[in-house]
Structure 1
């Protein structure tokens, strides 16, 4: 279909230079911001609700916001290709490392005499390196799995069935993320029994996948708008899918 100046062209990932994109930086910043805030604010808190028939059910408090990073990741991969999404994932990983290091330094600095906020500060920002490490491993595995599955499904389906690709990749990525993070971070710690961990893992997986499905119309709108305005539709026909490099 001829769309004039906004004509969408099918391009291989390696055929597009960085200067061809007008909105890539905005999407990249959105991804990193959502990732940092969801890990900083909601990762360690466990909440409970009383469900009919089931009873008390546990879930991670960050579940309502962290999946947004996967949705933004889907947009990155679908519009700009796996190679550029991989670069952004590594940037997000580096931001997580810096956030953890900064929190450790700030919490470890001796408080001024008369300042009474140290205990509260440690409670909010003093996550153990076990939690930080589990978060980084889970993020790395889940985001790369999500991006690889989405990119390869796009090639296999010839760009059709976006809803199936976004939800399918989320099932894999979010499943890995939840399955890795909670056992690594909390197994054997106070308040986190094996049953509680299993409940939270299941809850996180179901709720994150449900979020992805519910926001599918938004994903369609953003993806189609960006493709039209960027004038491209990137396919990873010849992309090297190794996660162990950041170069496009």
Structure 2
């Protein structure tokens, strides 16, 4: 009786592609969560004078969470996974990402709880950091409201993204890749941008006034939307690279399977 030969996952190009896309998405999401605690001013970062914008009664420099630098690449990977591995692929990676983000924060809290070495606490006092333990705790020990807001917003945004992506795909077929990619991002990030800041900074202990919340959330959303359009060429380049890697036939098979909503 002949024994079936099972292809090793590492030798399967589709499996390796899914692994690489998923790893890049997860990596960017986790880094974005940790660096997102810093809010930066755009104009001084670019060496420009503040625009002194006035939005919802708030004025000054345009303010963003540092995580916005990486989230556009998370959206890009989400759309590419959606294109070739469908709803099940995106949902699996989304839940896995949430679990790993929570794991990352638990690891950070465990590290904070460790008793610091005496010499280490003041090791950077000459560089303006008199207490390394306090600095470490404040940067990596984000409050539970921030973590809850980030995880909730990410998961809701991802689930909305996959639903909108497939709804547009049902209408347009294989045409207009840019429309389903940017359209799904536009809807999902409208929810994501406002949910995360509302839970983290309005409901949470910082108690931002509603005007500040609306101003920062709106600016962050507009940035994400502009980046979604800016990344359209990269979507097509990534698609071409994947076709070259998988071969046209395998790529078409994956796309056909991804169209089946499960």
The TM-score bracket by the shorter chain reads 0.7 to 0.9
Which residue in the other structure is 1:205 paired with?
221
- Looking at structure 2, the residues matched to 137 and 52 of structure 1 have their Cα atoms a distance apart, in angstroms, of 32
Change (3 A) 1:191 1:90: closer
Max radius of gyration: which structure? 2
**Do the aligned residues in 1 keep the contact of 2:158 with 2:188 (CA within 8 Å)?**
yes
Residue of structure 2 equivalent to 1:127: 142
Contact 2:165–2:180, Cα closer than 8 Å, also in 1: yes
Distance, in Å, in 2 between the alignment partners of 1:221 and 1:208 is: 20
Alignment partners' CA distance in 2, 1:212 and 1:113: 47
Task: Choose which of 251, 257, 260 in structure 2 pairs with 1:232.
Answer: 251
CA distance in 1, matches of 2:53, 2:154: 33
Q: Distance in 2 between matches of 1:149 and 1:227?
A: 24
In structure 1, which of residues 64, 69, 74 is the aligned counterpart of residue 74 of structure 2?
A: 69
Aligned position for 1:58: 63
Contact 1:89 1:140 in 2 (8 A): yes
Counterpart in the other structure of 1:159 = 174
Alpha-carbon distance between aligned partners in 2 of 1:61 and 1:200, rounded to the nearest angstrom: 12
Question: Are the aligned partners of 1:78 and 1:223 in contact in 2 as well (CA < 8 Å)?
Answer: no
Measured in 1, the distance between the counterparts of 2:53 and 2:98 equals: 40
Asked whether 1:35 is paired with 2:29, we answer yes
TM-score (norm 2): 0.78
Counting matched residue pairs gives 222
Structure 1 counterpart of 2:197: 182
Assess if the C-alpha contact under 8 Å between 1:175 and 1:205 holds in 2. Answer: yes
Q: 1:25 aligns with which of 12, 19, 23?
A: 19
Give the deviation of 1:24 after TM superposition. Answer: 1.5
Secondary structure at 1:47 match in 2: strand
**Larger relative CO (CA 8 A, sep 6+): 1 or 2?**
1
The runs of 5 or more residues in structure 2 that have no matched partner are 1-8, 44-49, 122-131
Distance in 1 between residues matched to 2:169 and 2:243, nearest whole Å:
14
| Higher alpha-carbon deviation: 193-202 or 25-34 | 193-202
Alpha-carbon deviation of 1:187?
0.9
C-alpha separation in 1, matches of 2:53 and 2:105: 40
Unaligned runs of 5+ in 1: 1-17, 241-248
